[in-house]
């Protein structure tokens, strides 16, 4: 799948002979192994809160940036130059998958993503590509991953990602962000069978897309079910969980079949506090948590066999550095320093101070080392 790749003006970049990994703390924690300290990264760590990100992004359309492996690589590496994060996440967006299915998506500055022709009727499903060759449609993401793996020089592991089926379906029907998701939820009530068909189509593309990312060099995968909170427990059980489960199972099977590394997988279903027990048994090594869940409760409900990731309220980064340190210490005490990856409960916002992000990372490293010594 990941054939030879030529990137603009640079030498041939192959997904082979990657530099040796120097810091495997994140991967060890994701695999449930002991770590010397708690690894940390932030969702949206490559983002507008960094002046260098704004500069790189300034003159170019968002999806043109996503299609440039060099730009994606540069944006992925920028936060690593500032902070001792224990993982990198490839710069891209979840909405490249609806594009691969044939839908137009544009990013309107200051507003967000917009689909000029969202799905309105069940018949619109026929307009979607029923089979997607991910190497053709999304090869630019694979190239970005391969290039970044080389340019990371083994500093930390690289995470690949995809949106989960329900979250992608909701954008494809709403045509952009939405407060209520009323149009997408109307499909679940009015057209359950067509909803299943769409979710299955998305599942198939996502599986190939994630396997392709590993072939290209991704060392872990995260699935973002960012809109889980719009559903209740019953709809989650019908329209999210089976597809989330199927993705983990199919990805792992295909990785084995293709003799690729069976990398750890993370599921982040935002606001799905009603489904923690199910998520713990959905086939993922790591479950990401938003900030509405108490660390102790999550541990109690999800058992010891699972690695947890999260979950500081992103808005806590508006507090003083002293307060951030105090909150991180409390979070670490709640989760324990093992089988745990520190992160925020959702992505960083554009107006956050890079210095406070640094304070968050430093506090995790400092207190988890202390914590380990005192245990």
Enzyme catalytic residues: 44, 48, 57, 93, 171
Q: Is the backbone peptide bond immediately before 114 cis, with ω within 30 degrees of 0?
A: no
CB of 45 to ligand 1CP, least distance (A): 5
Which of 29, 46, 199, 210 binds ligand 1CP (CB under 6 A)? It is 46
- Residue 74 tokens read as 């540069």
47 binds ligand 1CP (CB under 6 A): yes
Angle between helices 192-216 and 165-174 (to 10 degrees): 120
What residues between 81 and 140 interact with ligand 1CP by CB under 6 A?
Answer: 89, 91, 93-95, 107, 112-113
Distance separating alpha carbons of residues 346 and 244, to the nearest angstrom: 19
Q: Which of 39, 50, 78 is nearest to 286 (CA)?
A: 39
314 binds ligand 1CP (CB under 6 A): no
Percent helix, percent strand, percent coil in the chain, to nearest 5: 50, 10, 40
CB of 259 to ligand 1CP, least distance (A): 28
170 binds ligand 1CP (CB under 6 A): no
Which of 7, 21, 31, 48 binds ligand 1CP (CB under 6 A)? It is 48
43 binds ligand 1CP (CB under 6 A): yes
Q: Which of 90, 80, 46, 42 is nearest to 342 (CA)?
A: 42
CB of 144 to ligand 1CP, least distance (A): 11
By C-beta, is 3 or 64 nearer to ligand 1CP?
Answer: 64
* Binding-residue pattern over the window 217 to 246 for ligand 1CP, x denoting contact by CB under 6 A: -------x-x--------------------
- Residue 99 tokens read as 């594009």
DSSP 50: S
- Residue 133 tokens read as 């060759």
213 binds ligand 1CP (CB under 6 A): no
CB-CB contact of 226 with 167 (8 Å): yes
Judged by the rule CB under 6 A, the positions of this chain that interact with ligand 1CP are 43-48, 57, 62, 89, 91, 93-95, 107, 112-113, 161, 177, 224, 226, 347
């Amino acid at each position: 799948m990941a054939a030879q790749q030529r990137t603009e003006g640079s030498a041939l970049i192959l997904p082979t002979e990657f530099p040796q990994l120097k810091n495997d703390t994140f991967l060890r924690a994701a695999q449930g192994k002991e770590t010397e300290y708690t690894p940390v990264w932030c969702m949206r760590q490559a983002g507008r809160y960094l002046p260098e990100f704004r500069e790189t992004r300034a003159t170019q359309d968002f999806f043109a940036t996503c299609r440039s492996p060099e730009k994606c690589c540069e944006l992925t590496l920028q936060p690593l130059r500032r902070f001792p994060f224990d993982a990198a996440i490839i710069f891209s967006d979840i909405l490249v998958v609806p594009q691969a299915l044939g839908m137009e998506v544009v990013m309107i500055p200051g507003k967000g993503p917009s689909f000029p022709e969202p799905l309105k009727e069940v018949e619109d499903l026929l307009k979607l590509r029923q089979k997607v060759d991910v190497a053709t449609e999304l090869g630019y993401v694979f190239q970005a991953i391969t290039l970044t793996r080389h340019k990371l020089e083994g500093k930390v592991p690289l995470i690949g990602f995809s949106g989960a089926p329900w979250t992608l379906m909701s954008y494809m029907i709403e045509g952009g962000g939405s407060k209520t998701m009323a149009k997408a939820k109307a499909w679940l009530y009015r057209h359950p069978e067509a909803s299943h068909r769409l979710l299955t189509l998305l599942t198939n593309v996502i599986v190939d897309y994630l396997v392709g990312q590993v072939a290209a060099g991704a060392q872990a995968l995260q699935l973002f079910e960012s809109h889980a909170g719009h559903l209740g427990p019953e709809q989650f059980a019908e329209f999210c969980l089976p597809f989330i489960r199927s993705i983990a199972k199919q990805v792992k099977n295909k990785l084995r079949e293709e003799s690729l590394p069976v990398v750890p997988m993370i599921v982040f279903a935002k606001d799905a506090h009603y489904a923690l027990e199910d998520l713990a048994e959905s086939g993922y090594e790591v479950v990401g948590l938003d900030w509405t869940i108490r660390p102790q409760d999550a541990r109690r409900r999800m058992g010891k066999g699972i690695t947890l990731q999260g979950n500081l309220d992103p808005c806590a980064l508006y507090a003083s550095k002293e307060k951030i340190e105090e909150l991180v210490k409390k979070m670490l005490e709640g989760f324990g320093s093992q089988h745990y990856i520190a992160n925020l409960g959702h992505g960083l916002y554009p107006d956050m101070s890079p210095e406070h992000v640094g304070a968050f990372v430093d506090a995790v490293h400092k207190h988890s080392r202390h914590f380990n010594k005192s245990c």
